[in-house]
């Protein structure tokens, strides 16, 4: 690490070393090497960050929305200015192929551009009253000090997707990045300062143990809003903690995306988009295709083409030219994925390609081959639990009704995909799939303009779109007798 600032925490407006000098290691998942020792913040820094947020909130809230927006857009431009540096930092700490990391920097910047524009469109309303003597006003007000808890799979974009919305609405935010990937968040924090985000409005608080952090922030009544992206398991813990002070939550939790391919689909497009959806970030996204459901009359043909495309994806260090599948984030992720493959095979699935570890530069620990499993039973582990790895189970169906029933048979409800050329069916599916996001002939629907979020155990609240800003607003009703 060359930039010392990035190993300190951004507490209020100042870069601070940790209380007592505690630091924790960040490792390159491709090599296992320690790449940085990062400030391990504790209760003193968390309190200082919230104190600074509270102090800075009134001025930020009252600042003209156009000014807040201009600062956000400038922050986004700085991300793009430093795109290559940020992409390399991301690949180093997260492992994703460099081309994907560059894509994520642009995606992260797009949220700042979008929310920078949306800041000017936070509008209230005047409603007709039931009696002549009253005027009814709805005033959008920022909810207050906010906290983001972000995951390791999109170390930069999840920071800007949350902070962009909060800051646009007029709220300060303290971000706690995932232990595995604090460097991208710290780099984003440095650029926010350069863009003119005032002291206290954004803090970045890495910590080696997130559990005391969660306890501390929900114990502090000044925290009015927490936005979390991560596992359903942790999301449920946060729901419990939020009861204490009735803290408002947005939760973007696990997914188990069905990818439906009908016989009338353009199979070339379906294969290409399924590869993109399934194998992006090595399968480590919450909207990755997790069950591929194919109409039986085209199943063999789809499986043949899909397995050929998957098998051709180069696996390796994210910095190597042409690599499409990097390392998984840690050993536990590898063990989980391999257990799902073994379970599917034990249930009679055929391995069409992959199936195990791949050697990269003499190392095998974190590299899993793109794996396609055909003839998987719907009750196997990979069809029930989120995979978060490059493993694609293919199942068959005979009718639209069966496809919908199979697709909805899960406690999750984040993203679903359907490929068909029948416009009537497309519309029926858009309505019948019980998911927050439905991609019709589109394997990569996420974008800053649209609301992103789930139903059922995939969580609640929306990020992106105009809905994203609303998560940080309170609609104050003013009843006025002039
Ligand atoms: P994953 O299993 O993908 O690592 P997690 O849900 O464990 O997902 O982590 C997502 C984010 O939640 C990370 O920033 C992590 O540090 C944080 N986290 C994990 N457990 C807790 C907790 N008990 N309280 C607050 N944050 C937590």
Question: 284-333 pLDDT, tens per residue?
Answer: 999 999 999 999 999 999 999 999 999 999 999 999 999 999 999 999 99
Tokens in use for 266? 């353009």
Residue that has been written with the tokens 């002070």 in this structure: 245
Q: How many helices (H) and strands (E) does the chain have?
A: 15, 20
Catalytic site residue from 171, 286, 382, 383: 286
**286 an active-site residue?**
yes
Residue 211 CB less than 6 A away from ligand 1: yes
**301 an active-site residue?**
no
Q: How far away, in angstroms, is 32 Cα from ligand 1 center?
A: 21
> Which residue out of 234, 332, 385 has the highest number of ligand 1 atoms within 8 Å of its CB and is therefore the one to mutate?
234
Q: How far away, in angstroms, is 222 Cα from ligand 1 center?
A: 22
| Residue-level pLDDT at 19 | 65
Euclidean distance between CA atoms 91 and 154, whole angstroms: 11
Asked if 406 and 432 touch (Cβ cutoff 8 Å), the reply is no
Q: How far away, in angstroms, is 475 Cα from ligand 1 center?
A: 30
Residue 226 CB less than 6 A away from ligand 1: no
Euclidean distance between CA atoms 15 and 147, whole angstroms: 18
Asked if 286 and 453 touch (Cβ cutoff 8 Å), the reply is no
Beta-carbon count within 10 A of 222 CB = 14
Residue 179 CB less than 6 A away from ligand 1: yes
Q: How far away, in angstroms, is 299 Cα from ligand 1 center?
A: 38
Euclidean distance between CA atoms 26 and 348, whole angstroms: 40
What is the 8-class DSSP label of residue 323? -
Which residues touch 103 (CB under 8 Å, ≥6 apart)? none
| Residue-level pLDDT at 6 | 54
| Residue-level pLDDT at 364 | 86
Residues forming a β-bridge with 287: none
Residue 219 CB less than 6 A away from ligand 1: no
* φ, ψ for residue 349, nearest 5 deg: -70, 150
Residue 437: which H helix or E strand, with range? strand 437-440
Q: Which residue puts its alpha carbon closest to atom 19 of ligand 1?
A: 210
Where would I find the beta strands (DSSP E) of 280-382? 289-295, 350-353, 371-374
CA-wise closest residue to 210 among 147, 284, 283: 147
Buried b (16+ CB within 10 A) or exposed e, 404-415: bebbbebebbbb
Euclidean distance between CA atoms 314 and 390, whole angstroms: 12
Asked if 197 and 75 touch (Cβ cutoff 8 Å), the reply is yes
Residue 94 CB less than 6 A away from ligand 1: no
Euclidean distance between CA atoms 225 and 147, whole angstroms: 6
User: First CA to last CA across the chain, in angstroms?
Assistant: 62
Catalytic site residue from 252, 295, 400, 457: 252
Q: Which residue puts its alpha carbon closest to atom 17 of ligand 1?
A: 210
Q: What is the pTM of this model?
A: 0.97
| Residue-level pLDDT at 346 | 97
Residue 210 CB less than 6 A away from ligand 1: yes
Residue that has been written with the tokens 């991208």 in this structure: 184
Euclidean distance between CA atoms 254 and 205, whole angstroms: 24
Atom of ligand 1 nearest to the CA of 178: 14
CA-wise closest residue to 394 among 372, 411, 368, 413: 372
Residue 234 CB less than 6 A away from ligand 1: yes
CA distances from 213 to 111, 208, 235, 247, 351 (A): 26, 10, 14, 15, 43
Euclidean distance between CA atoms 150 and 156, whole angstroms: 9
Asked if 244 and 219 touch (Cβ cutoff 8 Å), the reply is yes
Nearest 5°: CA angle at 203, between 469 and 186? 105
Residue 388 CB less than 6 A away from ligand 1: no
Residue 213 CB less than 6 A away from ligand 1: yes
Summarised one tens digit per residue, pLDDT across range 381-400 is 999 999 999 999 999 999 99
Tokens in use for 81? 């200015």
Atom of ligand 1 nearest to the CA of 207: 16
Asked if 426 and 420 touch (Cβ cutoff 8 Å), the reply is yes
Euclidean distance between CA atoms 145 and 155, whole angstroms: 22
- Residue segments in the chain with a per-residue pLDDT below the cut of 50: 1-5
* φ, ψ for residue 34, nearest 5 deg: -75, 125
Q: How far away, in angstroms, is 45 Cα from ligand 1 center?
A: 19
In Å, how far from its chain's centre is CA 57? 26
């Amino acid at each position: 690490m060359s930039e010392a600032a990035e190993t300190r925490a951004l507490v209020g407006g100042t870069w601070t070393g940790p209380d007592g000098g505690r630091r924790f290691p960040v490792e390159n998942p491709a090599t296992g090497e320690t790449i940085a020792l990062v400030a391990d913040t504790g209760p003193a820094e968390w309190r200082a960050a919230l104190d600074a947020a509270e102090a800075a909130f009134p001025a930020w809230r009252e600042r003209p929305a156009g000014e807040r927006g201009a600062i956000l857009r400038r922050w986004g431009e700085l991300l793009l200015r430093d795109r290559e540096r940020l992409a390399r930092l991301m690949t180093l700490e997260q492992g994703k192929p460099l081309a994907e990391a560059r894509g994520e920097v642009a995606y992260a910047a797009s949220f700042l551009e979008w929310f920078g524009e949306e800041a000017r469109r936070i509008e209230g309303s005047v409603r007709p009253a039931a009696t002549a003597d009253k005027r009814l006003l709805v005033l959008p007000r920022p909810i207050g000090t906010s906290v983001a808890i972000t995951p390791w799979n999109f170390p930069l974009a999840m920071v800007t997707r949350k902070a962009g919305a909060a800051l646009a609405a007029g709220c300060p935010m303290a971000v706690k990045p995932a232990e595995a990937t604090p460097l991208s968040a710290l780099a984003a924090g440095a650029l926010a300062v350069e863009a003119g985000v005032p002291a206290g409005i954004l803090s970045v608080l890495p910590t080696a143990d997130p559990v005391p952090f969660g306890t501390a922030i929900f114990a502090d009544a000044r925290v009015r809003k927490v936005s979390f992206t991560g596992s359903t398991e942790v999301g449920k813990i946060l729901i419990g903690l939020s009861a204490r002070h009735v803290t408002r939550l947005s939760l973007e939790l696990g997914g188990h995306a069905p990818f439906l391919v009908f016989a009338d689909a353009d199979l070339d497009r379906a294969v290409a988009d399924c590869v993109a959806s399934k194998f992006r970030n090595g399968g480590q996204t919450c909207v990755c295709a997790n069950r591929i459901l194919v109409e039986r009359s085209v199943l063999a043909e789809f499986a043949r083409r899909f397995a050929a495309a998957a098998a051709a994806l180069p696996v390796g260090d994210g910095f190597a030219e042409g690599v499409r599948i990097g390392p998984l984030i840690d050993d536990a992720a590898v063990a989980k994925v391999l257990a799902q493959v073994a379970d599917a095979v034990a249930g009679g699935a055929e391995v069409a390609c992959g199936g195990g570890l791949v050697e990269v530069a003499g190392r095998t620990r974190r590299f899993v081959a793109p794996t396609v499993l055909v003839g998987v039973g719907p009750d196997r582990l990979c069809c029930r639990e989120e995979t978060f790895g490059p493993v694609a189970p293919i199942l068959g169906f005979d009718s639209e009704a069966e496809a919908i029933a199979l697709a909805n048979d899960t406690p999750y409800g984040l993203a679903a995909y359907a490929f068909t050329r029948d416009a009537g069916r497309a519309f029926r599916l858009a309505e019948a799939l019980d998911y927050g996001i439905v991609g019709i002939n589109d394997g990569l629907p996420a974008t800053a303009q649209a609301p992103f979020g789930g139903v059922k155990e995939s969580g609640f609240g929306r990020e992106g779109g105009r809905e994203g800003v609303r998560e940080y607003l309170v609609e104050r009703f003013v009843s006025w007798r002039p």
